Amino acid sequence: MSNRGKVTKHNLFTDFDGAFEGRLARVISVAANYTSEWAGSAARYDCRIKIRYNKELMAQLEEGMLLAVKNFRGQSKKAVSEGIERYTVMVISKVWPLHYGLGGVNDSHYFPLQMEIIEQSVPDWSTDDQATMMVHMNAVPINYDLVIDKKGEIEFRKGFSYPLVGEKAHVIDLETVDLIYNDKVKKSMGYTKKTTSEDPKKDPRVGVLRMFMESDHQVPIYVDLPKLVRYHFGVFSFTGGGKSNLMSNLFRRILYHEKDTKLVIFDISCEYPFLLSDVFMDSKIPSTIVLEEDPKTPENFARSVVKPRDFEEDPRANDILKAIYDTGKVTYYNRPLTQVPTYGSLMQEMRGLRTENSSRPTYAQAMDELLDFVTNYVNSTGKTEHEEIDTGFVDLLDQEARKAVATFQVHDKSALYAWATTRSTLKKVLSRAKSARQTGITIKELMKKFSGPERVICISIADPDTLRDLVIKLTSAALRYRKRSFEIKPQILFVFDEAQEFIPSGASGHLAQTSASVERLLRQGRKYGLGGAIATQRIAYLNTNILQQLHTFFVGTLPRPYDRTVVSSSFQIDLSILDKTLDFPPGSWLLSSYIATGLDSVPVFVKADNSEDVLKQHIASIKPSSKPKSKPKTVSSDEVEDDDVEQTKLA
């Protein structure tokens, strides 16, 4: 991987107006810790830089900045003959000042003497006395070389080169950092504007880099949105760290700047109807909100949605939710009272009966006869295994089942005989399903929306079992269709907020089926334009097979060491860099990606744009409706075609 750009050597690095003068003092080899699966990973080397003291410099230097030090490869005959300079690039992990006088203070010294020395050191920090004070810095190589040819073009080459101890250390300049992280990404997305903005409609940026924060100019940070969606991403932070804020921020960028992308949000916290309220009110973005029960009135809908703390007492927040309800975009899930078998589930049931009766050859032959009948029926009628059975098929199945048990002399007291002679009861199942309530939205109608104009389907259901069932059915149907149709457009991003409710480690039963469905989606989905996004505060409790599928991740503050070691092990981030996230305020993140950022697999500290600022502007611009409109009639399931989602084109 390489990033190329034309620069002049004098603006490649910054010395903070002559204040920065440092040299690489030591390179320490660090052995990787493999004592356990979750021990975390570490960089092979830790570099110590010593810098002449300057009081202004201490305010300017920040963890996360990039350094460059000349390395041995730049001294090769080839490099010298071609006029190439090579630098080892490293990221600052720690900065601290040292005072010569304080270094001699020992706890065994006379107490008044200790206090006297400490007090006298205070005025020194306000000077630039380089004889008494020094700045120390730790930096971790990021396994990239900065290569500058004789024309001034720069290239970043993957791989580690041992730096020259004693060589001068350089801080990479703000404009060069912008080139490194954003040039390739912006070209990939076709974004050519030179200016930057927090407005998600104007700028697809995620936020700004947490570098040069004291400068008048800040560096925006971009991620390749199509790759972010297709290759899956995760957001990890403790409660209150801003996960939902960041997710809604990313969703706006995706919707406004990637026109061929849909979102399916499994919202167990019931918060996204408000967090994306401006999106749901946008007539250019067709959307649907699915609740657990029919709210019946705008007031009930407004009360059912969770709001951020700053908006809980604001009456305008309820006004905006009522306005969304009046658009007719709010419906509820018509939960099936009975489960109608599909041809595939019926064949699976029959295979189970055959296995149970494998010790009785004639019983097994009877089941083989019935399996052949169902298979031939499906093939001859053009049905698929995922379609529901109908009454005509039930009549034929009942005849064939009775014929099979008679032909193979199945005992009339056996369980197999009872099963075979009661197939006509499936008609009652079909009748109950047909008489179910006709309002709301069914699972089949939800599947059909994948092929409709809707770009956002927000399923805000607090009951975990109901939501897990929808996860299994919707993800399986989408993946199954894409495999058969060989399509990758439009891209669909499935969002699993509070992911511990869907993909925990060591799950069993229905929860294990949900985890397996999500894992299958993330393993296979990127080949078919299906992506996944997960967010959680306890990453250590998640299915690690799923974590391995994530190509991009945002890490906020994780107070528990175990969570940080899981991140370090899963995503190969040095623990010394990861520990910096403990100092992060809400809204600050460590971002790293194998594919969607300017430098692959290089962690960078970012400050995300605040999604609540967008909400405040939106709420201020909306006037409450004096007379709410009547809610449009919900289309009944009888009015929806009976074709399975397999027959509908997801495009």
Tens-digit pLDDT profile for residues 132-181: 999 999 999 988 999 998 888 888 888 889 999 999 999 999 888 888 88
| 612 sits in which H/E element | helix 611-621
pLDDT at residue 151, rounded to an integer: 86
CATH code (residue 462): 3.40.50.300
Residues 330 and 360 in one domain: no
- Show which of 400, 435, 470 is a domain's final residue: 435
Q: Name 605's Cβ contacts closer than 8 Å, sequence gap at least 6.
A: 63, 64, 209, 210, 211, 580, 584, 588, 589, 590, 591
Residues 554 and 615 in one domain: yes
Residues 484 and 624 in one domain: yes
How far, in Å, CA of 524 to CA of 531, rounded?
9
Number of C-beta neighbours around residue 646 at 10 A: 16
Angle in degrees, 0-180, between the axes of helices 315-326 and 611-621, rounded to the nearest 10:
80
Average pLDDT taken over every residue of the chain: 86
Residue 532, pLDDT > 60, answer yes
Give the domain range for residue 62: 5-189
Number of C-beta neighbours around residue 27 at 10 A: 17
Residues 431 and 452 in one domain: no
Residues 416 and 447 in one domain: no
Please state the φ and ψ torsions of residue 423, each to the nearest 5 degrees.
Answer: -70, -25
pLDDT at residue 571, rounded to an integer: 77
Residues 171 and 58 in one domain: yes
Residues 25 and 85 in one domain: yes
In-domain check, residue 328:
yes
In-domain check, residue 263:
yes
How far, in Å, CA of 607 to CA of 85, rounded?
33
pTM here? 0.80
In the chain, the amino acid numbered 574 is D
What is the DSSP pairing of strand 133-148 with strand 22-29? unpaired
- Show which of 435, 457, 477 is a domain's final residue: 435
- Show which of 419, 435, 451 is a domain's final residue: 435
> Half-sphere exposure of residue 171, counting CA atoms within 13 Å on the CB side?
24
Residues 359 and 392 in one domain: yes
In-domain check, residue 308:
no
Q: Name 141's Cβ contacts closer than 8 Å, sequence gap at least 6.
A: 43, 44, 45, 47, 88, 89, 90, 160, 163
pLDDT at residue 33, rounded to an integer: 53
pLDDT more than 70, % of the chain: 91
Three-state SS at 550: coil
Residue 623, pLDDT > 90, answer no
In-domain check, residue 211:
no
pLDDT at residue 627, rounded to an integer: 44
Residues 274 and 418 in one domain: no
Residues 108 and 54 in one domain: yes
- Alpha helices per DSSP H over 435-560: 443-449, 464-485, 509-524, 544-547
Which tokens sit at 419? 């099963």
What is the DSSP pairing of strand 456-460 with strand 261-266? parallel
Residues 82 and 33 in one domain: yes
In-domain check, residue 476:
yes
* Among the listed residues 264, 286, 651, the one whose alpha carbon sits nearest the alpha carbon of residue 490: 651
Which tokens sit at 513? 């089926």
In-domain check, residue 458:
yes
In-domain check, residue 249:
yes
Number of C-beta neighbours around residue 132 at 10 A: 15
Q: Please state the three-class secondary structure of 350-399 as a single string.
A: HHHHHHHCCCCHHHHHHHHHHHHHHHHHHHHHCCCCCCECCHHHHHHHHH
Number of structural domains the chain divides into: 3
DSSP 489: -
pLDDT at residue 44, rounded to an integer: 79
∠ Cα 199 201 202 (to 5°) = 70
Residues 68 and 128 in one domain: yes
How far CA 52 is from CA of 17, 22, 92, 363, 483, in Å, comes to: 14, 6, 16, 88, 61
Residue 640, pLDDT > 60, answer no
Strand partners, 163: 71
Q: Name 178's Cβ contacts closer than 8 Å, sequence gap at least 6.
A: 219, 220
In-domain check, residue 389:
yes
Q: Name 392's Cβ contacts closer than 8 Å, sequence gap at least 6.
A: none
Residue 439, pLDDT > 90, answer no
